[in-house]
Structure 1
């Protein structure tokens, strides 16, 4: 699950991977795997608390299932921060990007098409 976290200025939060080594340094949406017994949204809220130290409010889903390697899929929702300030607890860094600067970071290949879909959703609103 992934969270396309936006702030009141319409900027998107990008998170820089720390691991595994083959993905380290690439940029992604915060989030992670669903634990047994969790639904997607519960997992997304939990992952953002663990990774960023924030409580998010989940909004609209972006697209369908985005294929990843080894049969995994990524599901992404637009989200806002309800409580806290994001910290890079499990990432190398965080960066807020305006819609016209989304291409300034090296997004992971799996996340790149979702970045464009998120931009389309946010710019039309």
Structure 2
């Protein structure tokens, strides 16, 4: 049995742009950008957790497309990140709002992906998501 804690994130796309969410908490992460998502709860499938997290954090309904290959260690021991490509289906990009743990959102065009200060552990996942999106 492993003590790993799985965190799921979304490379959420709408109109060809990927969503970045700016953390408002905890203090050590505040002001930095990440892919939206969160922890998988006991008994929950990763895909279910990601859909739930997007609803809770953004009020957004999303369709998960496919898992982006790879798994990235996070800043806390035992935590790992898996990312899914997803598309916004509930509303337009302007209707998505930061509801939990975030204070701002940005929809980034491919040439703007590195204009925000991503959390270190999200950078390789963002790069993988960008490569995946280019190839799709």
Q: TM-score range by the shorter chain?
A: over 0.9
CA distance in 2, matches of 1:104, 1:112: 12
For 1:40 and 1:97, how far apart are their aligned partners in 2?
A: 25
Does structure 1 residue 5 correspond to structure 2 residue 12?
A: yes
Tell me the equivalent position of 1:83: 90
In 2, Cα distance between equivalents of 1:77 and 1:101: 20
How many residues were matched structurally?
124
Q: CA RMSD in A?
A: 0.9
Identify unmatched segments of 5+ residues in structure 1. none
Q: Give the superposition deviation at 1:124.
A: 2.1
Give the counterpart of 1:19 among 25, 49, 62: 25
- Report the Cα distance in structure 2 between the residues aligned to 1:100 and 1:115, rounded to whole angstroms: 13
Answering whether residue 133 of structure 2 is matched by residue 122 of structure 1, we say: yes
What pairs with 1:105-120 in structure 2 (closer than 5 Å)?
Answer: 105-120=116-131
Per mean C-alpha deviation after superposition, the further-off stretch among 37-46 and 84-93 is: 84-93
Higher mean C-alpha displacement, 62-71 vs 40-49: 62-71
2:105 to 65, 69, 94: 94
Give the distance between the partners of 1:7 and 1:36, measured in 2 at CA: 30
Counterpart in the other structure of 2:49: 43
Give the ranges of 4+ consecutive aligned residues of structure 1 lying more than 6 Å apart after TM superposition: none
Helix, strand or coil for the counterpart of 2:39? coil
**1:110 partner SS:** helix
- Paired position in structure 2 for 1:73: 80
Q: Is it true that 1:30 corresponds to 2:57 in the alignment? A: no
Q: What is the rounded CA distance, in whole Å, between the counterparts of 2:23 and 2:69 in structure 1?
A: 23
